[in-house]
Amino acid sequence: MASSTETETKPFSVLFVCLGNICRSPAAELSAEGVFRDIVKKRGLDSKFQIDSAGTIDYHEGNLADPRMKAASKRRGVEITSISRPIRPSDFRDFDIILAMDKQNRDDIVEAFNRWRFRETLPDDAHKKVELMCSYCKKHDETEVPDPYHDGTQGFEKVLDLLEDACESLLDSILVENGHILNS
């Protein structure tokens, strides 16, 4: 159990998860990072966040993001440089919040937790850290960030619209619920 001093000095950690970790979650990581950096830098809180992304499958492990996702992000001024990795047991210990892009991702993440919890020492309630990304959207009614992999350009633009919307209020919500980030 972390002491309150540890909680207050440790960066707040956010993990974005999709299926392959080559489209949605790397873009979320970087979109979020852009939004985070913008606000966080203005407030001198750069060191207060740790951001990463992962996939529920390892098929693309070690690969750069999908070129179509990179191109769409670049058009909005965001460079995606992350390397795909699958979610691992320690993520349930290391991250404060885990954002799933769609309901199947959320179910797969919780299923992975249930598989690992008995052979790893994981907090009993770590599955409660898993939330749907679109639950933070303010300007869109969608409940999931759709899988763009088999889609055309429009799919990637839609992903970025949803991520930008969700990331703004995700950051607001984290700051409101974790007063120590701004106060320490």
Q: Which of 149, 158, 161, 173 binds ligand 4NP (CB under 6 A)?
A: 149
| Residue matched to tokens 């210990």 | 93
Q: How many helices (H) and strands (E) does the chain have?
A: 7, 4
Binding mask 19-58 for ligand 4NP (x = CB under 6 A): xxxxxx----------------------------------
Instruction: Give least dist CB 178 to ligand 4NP, A.
Output: 27
User: Taking CB under 6 A as the rule, does residue 162 contact ligand 4NP?
Assistant: no
What does the longest C-alpha to C-alpha distance in the chain come to?
48
Return the closest-CA partner of residue 169 out of 81, 121, 72, 99: 99
CA-atom Rg of the chain in angstroms: 16
Note if 147 is an active site residue.
yes
Site for ligand 4NP in 108-147 (CB under 6 A): 147
Instruction: Give least dist CB 29 to ligand 4NP, A.
Output: 11
Strand partners, 12: 49
| Residue matched to tokens 């607001």 | 172
Instruction: Give least dist CB 95 to ligand 4NP, A.
Output: 18
Note if 167 is an active site residue.
no
Q: Is the dihedral of CA 172, 95, 157, 31 positive or negative?
A: positive
Summarize as ranges the residues that interact with ligand 4NP (CB under 6 A).
18-24, 59, 147, 149
Catalytic residues: 18, 24, 147
